[in-house]
Chain A
Amino acid sequence: MWLVRELLFHRKQHYLNVVANAMAVFLVLIVSVLSDSLAHGISDEIGSLGLDVTMLQVYGEVNDYWFEDFCSEFDITKATPYYSFRYEELSVVSCNDKLYELFEPGLLKGRFLNETDLRNNDNVAVVGSEAYEKNDRKDTVEINGVEFRIIGVLNRSENNLFIDYDKSVFIPVGYDLSTGVRNHSYYYVDGRYAEPYLEDAFGENGYMLINQSSLLKTTGQMSDLVRKVLLFIASVSLAVSLTGMINSMLAGIKERSYEIGIKKVMGASALDIYCEFALESFTVFNIGLVIGLILVTLICRLITSAGIMDICVDYMENLRLLFRLSLAGFVCGLYPAWRAGRISIMDAIRKV
């Protein structure tokens, strides 16, 4: 009860502290909450792609038949080579019929390459929607002087990690029409046991594997790093606010030596005064913390209700952060409290 009276009596001294602390806490919490939400959003987005396809890219020239051996060795049933090169504005891809099963891009019309096309090396192609438009919706497409009959057009592509279908032309894997650089990539599923083999076959730096889990891991690490950097920047404002609070408390102690003197005359020990001041600074900081928390909740609700982003403040997840903030406020109040406890009665009553 006394503490409340004291706080109210010295409210002018505490107003600015509370505001500064609230702003600093708000900044730290909003950075934490927003970066968490963004990280979850990115993870969900990657997760929602719904694929666990692994992309293997091999650097340098490789035998075209090694991949078949690789798939049979590791019982990989859904797999396709993906040899691509640029031709004018198109990306020409040599692949097999499994590509459609792996990514299920959807067809606007016609069909995708099938086993017969591949076996006979027919001059057939499937085109992306943009490539089809660029080719003036013709029934054939010419690549490096070879004419291919268009047997299917893909839907306009939605999110996909690896392939931009729209500008691609898919031809049977037997064709190699490239005149320059041809990228050797492969897509497959269920090949997680193959990684040691790949390292033996191509060396540590001879290949690259990308799959959904590695992407999730990488984006997770990236967002965690960004979160930490942002939190550090926000913490600077907190440090400034806490320094201000220490300074203001120290100045306040000088002004309040009268009150300290009276209490000591009445029998307060240095420890009593220390505890009272520590509790007071702790309370002042925590009022700021609660205001900051309320502001963060309001802002998050506002953002969510405006449909900008779906943010949910997970108080339990931020509990450790709140505890740390509160502890920081408490620790910063200890030094002024110690100084208050050290004031002698003579110093205090002389100033009265």
Chain B
Amino acid sequence: MIKLVDICRTYHLKNQDVKALDGISLEIPDGSLTAITGHSGCGKTTLLNIIAGYDRPDSGLYLYDGRLVNDYDERQMTDFYRHEVSMIFQEFHLLPYLNVYENIRLPLHYQKRRMNNKEIDAVLGQVGLRGYGRFCPHQLSGGQKQRAALARTLVGEVRVVLADEPTGALDRENAYNIVKLLKGMKEYGMTVVLVTHDEDIAMMADRIITLENGHVVS
């Protein structure tokens, strides 16, 4: 379970300090799909980065399965990225010089695991991308790229999937399909946290957290 207690994060810009998160406390139960919504600049992505461990809060506690993530050293953080959380980005973030197979093998490489093309094809089948293994990212549409990114997350066998506006660059139909796939990840026991502007997509989640000026309002 993810538990945040009184999390604060301030960005120090040239002439002013911007409080992105101001005393956020929340709990995200295992195996749930949580949507985080709010206006631009309300701190959604900052919150997601802190949950992912990419950013550290200035104050407050971040507990993951009862362990204090704030105190993790570099090695523990690397293990955390390898085995616990995975992020899906709006821009897909596939390495352009690797084909779909190789992009999907990327987390496996760092986890020191192996998967042959047949096994990866099975995962690609789950996201509706069977037969695209040898395609390079530039040969795929936006929706296909996001599916490949989802497949990459699936093979990583992480426990928490964080999605930062994964449908932002997609049309309506593709967006719904992606959210359906994210919802399907629950079946694998994954916890999904989704940042979105789109209320319709947010409604598909088990729980909606709304942020405003760095505070949780609902």
> Bound complex: CA of A2 vs CA of B81, how far in Å?
21
Among the interface residues B55, B87, B91, B95, which one has the most CB atoms of the partner chain A within 10 A? B95
Binary A-proximity of B99-114 (CB < 8 A = 1, otherwise 0): 0001000110111000
Asked if B91 contacts A9 (CB within 8 A), the reply is no
- From B52, B55, B89, B110, contact of A267 by CB (8 A): B110
> Bound complex: CA of A344 vs CA of B77, how far in Å?
12
- Does A269 reach chain B (CB closer than 8 Å)? yes
- From B52, B54, B75, B107, contact of A266 by CB (8 A): B107
- From A266, A344, A349, contact of B81 by CB (8 A): A266
- Does A301 reach chain B (CB closer than 8 Å)? no
> Bound complex: CA of A6 vs CA of B152, how far in Å?
19
- Does A316 reach chain B (CB closer than 8 Å)? no
Q: Which residues does chain B contribute within 8 Å of A346, judged by CB atoms?
A: 49, 54-55
> Bound complex: CA of A58 vs CA of B54, how far in Å?
86
Query: Chain A interface mostly helix, strand, loop or mixed?
Result: helix
> Bound complex: CA of A9 vs CA of B54, how far in Å?
27
- From A1, A5, A272, contact of B110 by CB (8 A): A272
Number of residue pairs across A and B with beta carbons under 8 Å? 63
Interface residues of B in 44-103 (CB under 8 A from A): 49, 52, 54-55, 74-75, 78, 81-83, 86-87, 89, 91, 93-98, 102
> Bound complex: CA of A327 vs CA of B144, how far in Å?
44
Residue of B nearest to A265 (CB): B87
Interface range on chain A (Cβ under 8 Å from partner): 20 to 34
> Bound complex: CA of A8 vs CA of B97, how far in Å?
8
- Does B166 reach chain A (CB closer than 8 Å)? no
Known A5-B98, A344-B54; further 20 A-B contacts with Cβ < 8 A = A5-B97, A258-B93, A262-B95, A262-B106, A264-B81, A265-B81, A265-B93, A266-B81, A266-B106, A266-B152, A267-B81, A267-B110, A267-B111, A269-B74, A269-B75, A269-B78, A269-B110, A270-B78, A346-B54, A346-B55
> Bound complex: CA of A6 vs CA of B106, how far in Å?
13
- From B55, B93, B106, B152, contact of A352 by CB (8 A): B93
A interface residues with partner B (beta carbon < 8 Å) = 1-2, 5-6, 8-9, 258-259, 261-270, 272, 344-346, 349, 352
> Bound complex: CA of A264 vs CA of B109, how far in Å?
12
Residue of B nearest to A8 (CB): B97
Task: State the Cβ distance, B97 to closest chain A Cβ, in Å.
Answer: 4
Q: Which residues does chain B contribute within 8 Å of A259, judged by CB atoms?
A: 95
Count of chain B residues with Cβ under 8 Å from any Cβ of A? 28
- Does B156 reach chain A (CB closer than 8 Å)? yes
Known: A2-B98, A6-B97, A352-B91. A345 touches B54 (CB 8 A): yes
> Bound complex: CA of A8 vs CA of B136, how far in Å?
14
Among the interface residues A259, A266, A349, which one has the most CB atoms of the partner chain B within 10 A? A266
Q: Which residues does chain B contribute within 8 Å of A262, judged by CB atoms?
A: 93-95, 106
Q: Which residues does chain A contribute within 8 Å of B97, judged by CB atoms?
A: 5-6, 8-9
Task: State the Cβ distance, A165 to closest chain B Cβ, in Å.
Answer: 74
> Bound complex: CA of A192 vs CA of B102, how far in Å?
75
Q: Which residues does chain B contribute within 8 Å of A269, judged by CB atoms?
A: 74-75, 78, 110
Q: Which residues does chain A contribute within 8 Å of B54, judged by CB atoms?
A: 265, 344-346, 349
Q: Which residues does chain A contribute within 8 Å of B96, judged by CB atoms?
A: 9
8 pairs across A/B with beta carbons < 8 Å? A2-B102, A5-B98, A266-B106, A266-B156, A267-B82, A267-B110, A270-B74, A349-B89
Task: State the Cβ distance, A281 to closest chain B Cβ, in Å.
Answer: 17
